[in-house]
Structure 1
Amino acid sequence: MREMLSLQRITSILKNYQLSPNYVEQMGKVQKIYTSKGVFILKKIDPHHGIDFIKYVQTLYQKGYNRIVPIYPTIDGRYAVLDNQELYYLMPWLPDENKGERTARQQQLFRELARLHSISVKDMTINKEERTRHFEKMIIDLDQEEEFLLSLLETCERKVYMSPFELTFVTYYHDFNQALSFSKKRLEEWYEATKEQEKVRVVVIHGKLSSEHFLFDERGYGYFINFEKAAIGPPTHDLLPFLVKALRGWPKQDEELLDWLYMYFKYFPFKEEEMKLFLSYIAHPGAAIKTVERFFKDGNNRNELEAVQKLQKDYWNLKNTEYLVMRIDEIERQKKQQQEEAARKEQ
Structure 2
Amino acid sequence: MYEKNRLEKVYPILKNYAIEPHFVENFGKIQKVYSNKGVFALKKINPKQGGDFVKHIQSLYQKGYNRIVPIFPTIDGRYGVLHEHNLYYLMPWLVNEENEKGHERHHQLFRELARLHTLSTNDIKVNKEDRTDHYEKTLLEWEKHQDFLEGFMEACEQRTYMSPFELMFVLSYNDIQQALNYSIKNLKAWYEKTKDDEKARVVTVHGKISTDHFLYDERGYGYFSNFEQARQGSPIHDILPFLSRSLKTFPKRAEDCIEWIYMYLKYFPLREDELLLFASYFAHPGAVIRTAEKYYKNPSRHSERKILQHFQKHYWLIKNSEYVLMRMEEIERQKQQAKAQAEAAAQANEGAQN
- TM-score tier, shorter chain, comes to over 0.9
Contact 1:117 1:205 in 2 (8 A): yes
Which residue number corresponds to residue 196 of structure 2? 196
Q: What is the aligned partner in structure 2 of residue 318 from structure 1?
A: 318
1:127 is aligned to 2:127:
yes
Deviation at residue 11 of structure 1 after TM alignment: 1.4
Quote how far apart the aligned CAs of 1:299 are: 3.4
Find the residue that maps to 1:124 and give its secondary structure: strand
1:178 counterpart residue number: 178
| Aligned residue in 2 for 1:276 | 276
CA distance in 2 between counterparts of 1:339 and 1:45 reads: 50
Report the Cα distance in structure 2 between the residues aligned to 1:213 and 1:289, rounded to whole angstroms.
31
**Residue equivalent to 2:84:** 84
Per-residue CA distance 1:130-183 (angstroms, 9 max, x = gap): 111111111111111111101111111122211111111000000000000101
Residues 11-61 of structure 1: per-residue CA shift (max 9 Å, x gap): 111111111111111122111111121100111111111000100011111
Mapped to 2, the partners of 1:284 and 1:18 lie a distance apart of 52
The answer to whether the Cα contact below 8 Å between 1:202 and 1:233 also exists between their aligned partners in 2 is yes
**Percent of aligned pairs with the same residue?**
54
Q: CA deviation at 1:341?
A: 5.8
1:229 counterpart residue number? 229
Gaps of 5+ in 1: none
Q: Which position in structure 2 is the counterpart of 1:245?
A: 245
What is the aligned partner in structure 2 of residue 219 from structure 1? 219
Q: CA deviation at 1:332?
A: 2.6
Residue aligned with 1:326, SS: helix
CA distance in structure 1 between the aligned counterparts of 2:294 and 2:213, rounded to whole angstroms = 33
Alignment of 1:1-347 (within 5 A): 6-339=6-339
Q: CA deviation at 1:95?
A: 1.0
Q: CA–CA distance in 1 between the matches of 2:99 and 2:26?
A: 23
User: Could you state the TM-score of these two structures normalised by the residue count of structure 1?
Assistant: 0.95
| Alignment length (residue pairs) | 344
| Contact 1:70 1:91 (8 Å CA) reproduced | yes
CA contact (8 A) 1:98 1:218 kept: no
Over 3 Å counting, the alpha-carbon distance change for 1:163 and 1:332 in structure 2 is same
Partners of 2:333 and 2:189 lie apart in 1 by 14
Are 2:152 and 2:296, in contact at CA under 8 Å, matched by a contact in 1?
no
Question: Structure 1 pair 5/88, CA: closer, same or farther in 2 (3 Å)?
Answer: farther
CA distance 1:5–1:29, shift in 2 (3 Å): farther
